Amino acid sequence: RKNTPSLPKTVTTHFFPAYPWDKSSLKSMPVDLQQLEKLDAYALKVNVKNSVEELVKVLLKQARTDLEKVRAIWMWICHHIEYDVVGYHNKSQLSSKPRDVLQMGKSICEGYAELFEHMCSLAGIQCKKLSGHAKGHGYKTGQTFTGDSDHAWNAVYLEGRWHLLDSTWGSGSVDDSFTKFTQRYNEFYFLTHPALFINNHFPDNSNWQLLKPTLTLKEFENNMLHNSNFYTLGMLAVHPDTPIIPTVNGKASVSVDCRPGTLFMFKLKGTDEQGLMTLKKNGMELDIYPQQTGSHKLEIFAKPSKAEASDDVYKCVVEYVVECESVDAAARFPKDLHQPVGPSWFSQRHGFLRPSHQEPVLHTNDGRCCLTFTLGKDISVLTSLHTDGSSLDEDMGRHHVLQTHRRNQVELKVHLPHAGNFVLKIYSKKKSDPGNYDYIFNYLIRCLNTEVKWPAFPKRYSKWLQDYEILEPLSGLLPANRNVQFKLKMHGIAKVLVQAENTYPLTQNKDCWEGTCNTSGCREVFVMVHENANHSFYSHVLRYEVEAQ
């Protein structure tokens, strides 16, 4: 074994950060990345391939402090040395001597670390090459580490203490088959906080964890792997923090704590159909109900909701293995259910305030439910109801939800056509926007009562205004040969008629129009309004069907 560098005697113990991570900084010393932008840009442009000495000389022209010297070297290596996937499979041909690495422009971790160490020594900076085990490429959840170390990285001495960095991982990543390297700079591995670095780097000499207390190899193996995305996207903790989760009665639960304003998605065996995810102000909660027994991979993805990030894609922040012993078949979700479920800061941001129902799932015994929201300014709402099977086409799905506006409140009445699992989807747009409605959020509505069989609400035409209200009859299907009482709240009109076989006028009583109509001899009934007493023109506002004789 190579002799492992010993810690210099000058290091005093009170410098060591404690484990676990205190959630403060991702780095082991303050680094102002904006201040380093000029230097970074300079280092990237340096193009010297003939000698390491010459390269360091040119790089250091713009660097004054030790931190800046290390930064220039780090930036150059991360952007100019590629990982040698061919050499990795054929190590006998490989030289990790700094001069050869520079000339080839590629290497494996050993070469990155030796080049880094050599360049630092030329710059007058103390630097060590460290070796150990890494949870890097090809790592499987829960695996053990035996035998020789498999990775190399560096420690540098800055401002009176040691700091860790990994230029191999800073430069990019290798695909699963280990045949292709993708150059993608990763800031996370520059001067990483030791309590985070230990997450996937275990040095042969435990002193180089730079932690008090140090972790054992067993602890390292059992700890949950958090990749750099986990920290750079602002994740703080996950529960459970063990990588393998057994289901209890067919269900497994996971939650994530993070910075506010983070969006999430998940995949269990590649789909998000077997779970129920809710967004929380500082994270998310997820209940998983696998529909097959066995071991399943669960991936959780995150992205910031602020759109200014150009690479605004979901990135995997944590992976679990869910071990399912029994299936809860009752927890099958409709395929139209969209994750996350229920109201959240996201729906609030889109103008749906003070929801009457905070939970993602609504249980109803009689097949009816009523939700209310306070609406932000200038918001127009659209809803639809969905279920598996063909019982509700898109048009019918609309007519089983009745929307009523009272000043800045919207009320959604839902009458289910039968028992089962339904999805209530809610869309919105600015009233002033001519464009389409955007999907915002949805609820799961469950009804077990097989007696339930509500007809649709009456069909509303475009002249039926948002703040009109149907008090009765609410059912869009009227009984045959009956006198039916009508009571409608409408404003700004001169006259209201109900047209069945005969025509029946309604009379105005304060803001209500009331009256009776007889349904004999007709299959449909229309409500019509006269907007202006001087016009003879009537507009249809509502349509009811009449039961067959």
CATH of the domain at 278: 2.60.40.10
Please, which pLDDT band fits residue 536 given cuts at 50, 70 and 90?
Answer: confident
3-state DSSP helix/strand/coil percent for the chain, to nearest 5? Answer: 20, 35, 45
Please confirm, yes or no, whether 150 is among the known catalytic residues. no
The pLDDT value given to residue 310: 54
Alpha helices in 11-61 (DSSP H): 37-45, 52-59
The pLDDT value given to residue 12: 43
Q: Tell me: the pLDDT tens digits for 110-133?
A: 999 999 999 999 999 999 999 999
Position 22 in a domain: no
CB 241 within 8 A of CB 184: no
Q: Which of 222, 242, 275 is the last residue of a domain?
A: 222
Could you tell me the pTM of the whole model? 0.85
Q: Is 362 helix (H, G, I), strand (E, B) or coil?
A: strand
Which residues, in sequence order, are bridge partners of residue 357? none
Please indicate, yes or no, whether residues 80 and 166 belong to a single structural domain of this protein: yes
Q: Tell me: the pLDDT tens digits for 449-480?
A: 999 999 999 999 999 998 899 999 999 999 99
d(CA 137, CA 173): 8
The pLDDT value given to residue 14: 46
Please confirm, yes or no, whether 109 is among the known catalytic residues. yes
Q: Tell me: the pLDDT tens digits for 207-244?
A: 999 999 999 999 999 888 898 999 999 999 999 988 89
Q: Tell me: the pLDDT tens digits for 280-296?
A: 999 999 999 999 999 99
Q: Which of 436, 457, 478 is the last residue of a domain?
A: 457
* Torsion, Cα of 86, 87, 89, 93 (10° steps): 130
Please indicate, yes or no, whether residues 449 and 488 belong to a single structural domain of this protein: no
**Among the options 80, 118, 133, 151, which is catalytic?**
151
Position 6 in a domain: no
Please, which pLDDT band fits residue 7 given cuts at 50, 70 and 90?
Answer: low
Please indicate, yes or no, whether residues 156 and 93 belong to a single structural domain of this protein: yes
Which residues, in sequence order, are bridge partners of residue 133? 202
Position 19 in a domain: no
Please indicate, yes or no, whether residues 41 and 172 belong to a single structural domain of this protein: yes
List all residues 6 or more positions away from 99 whose beta carbon is below 8 Å from its beta carbon.
51, 52
Structure tokens at 203: 């040095």
Please indicate, yes or no, whether residues 211 and 278 belong to a single structural domain of this protein: no
Please, which pLDDT band fits residue 309 given cuts at 50, 70 and 90?
Answer: low
What percentage of the chain carries pLDDT values higher than 90?
80
What percentage of the chain carries pLDDT values higher than 70?
96
Position 269 in a domain: yes
- Structurally, how many domains does the chain consist of? 4
Residue 258, amino acid: C
Q: Which of 294, 324, 354 is the last residue of a domain?
A: 324
445 to each of 69, 216, 290, 402, 469, how far by Cα in Å?
61, 49, 20, 15, 24
208 to each of 202, 204, 216, 478, how far by Cα in Å?
9, 8, 13, 80
* Nearest residue to 440 (alpha-carbon basis) of 430, 455, 448: 430
Out of 30-44, 192-206, 385-399, pick the least confident: 385-399
Rounded to whole angstroms, the maximal C-alpha distance in the chain is 103
Please indicate, yes or no, whether residues 367 and 464 belong to a single structural domain of this protein: no
Position 124 in a domain: yes
CB 402 within 8 A of CB 368: no
Please confirm, yes or no, whether 84 is among the known catalytic residues. no
* Nearest residue to 263 (alpha-carbon basis) of 358, 351, 339, 360: 339
**Among the options 166, 258, 296, 522, which is catalytic?**
166
Please, which pLDDT band fits residue 11 given cuts at 50, 70 and 90?
Answer: very low
Please, which pLDDT band fits residue 308 given cuts at 50, 70 and 90?
Answer: low
Please indicate, yes or no, whether residues 67 and 216 belong to a single structural domain of this protein: yes
Q: Tell me: the pLDDT tens digits for 96-107?
A: 999 999 999 999
Position 433 in a domain: yes
Position 5 in a domain: no
The pLDDT value given to residue 311: 61
Please indicate, yes or no, whether residues 292 and 173 belong to a single structural domain of this protein: no
Q: Tell me what the mean pLDDT of segment 51-70 comes to.
A: 97
Give the number of other CB atoms < 10 A from CB of residue 42: 17
Helix 52-59 with 66-80: angle, nearest 10 deg: 120
pLDDT top residue among 431 and 155:
155
Please indicate, yes or no, whether residues 500 and 513 belong to a single structural domain of this protein: yes
The pLDDT value given to residue 345: 96
**Among the options 78, 84, 109, 193, which is catalytic?**
109
Which residues, in sequence order, are bridge partners of residue 368? 415
CATH of the domain at 170: 3.10.620.30
Please, which pLDDT band fits residue 537 given cuts at 50, 70 and 90?
Answer: confident
Position 193 in a domain: yes
Please indicate, yes or no, whether residues 101 and 143 belong to a single structural domain of this protein: yes
* Residue 305 reports pLDDT greater than 90: no
Please indicate, yes or no, whether residues 44 and 183 belong to a single structural domain of this protein: yes
Please indicate, yes or no, whether residues 451 and 465 belong to a single structural domain of this protein: no
Give the number of other CB atoms < 10 A from CB of residue 150: 15
Q: Tell me what the mean pLDDT of segment 139-146 comes to.
A: 87
**Domain assignment of residue 309, given as a range:** 232-324
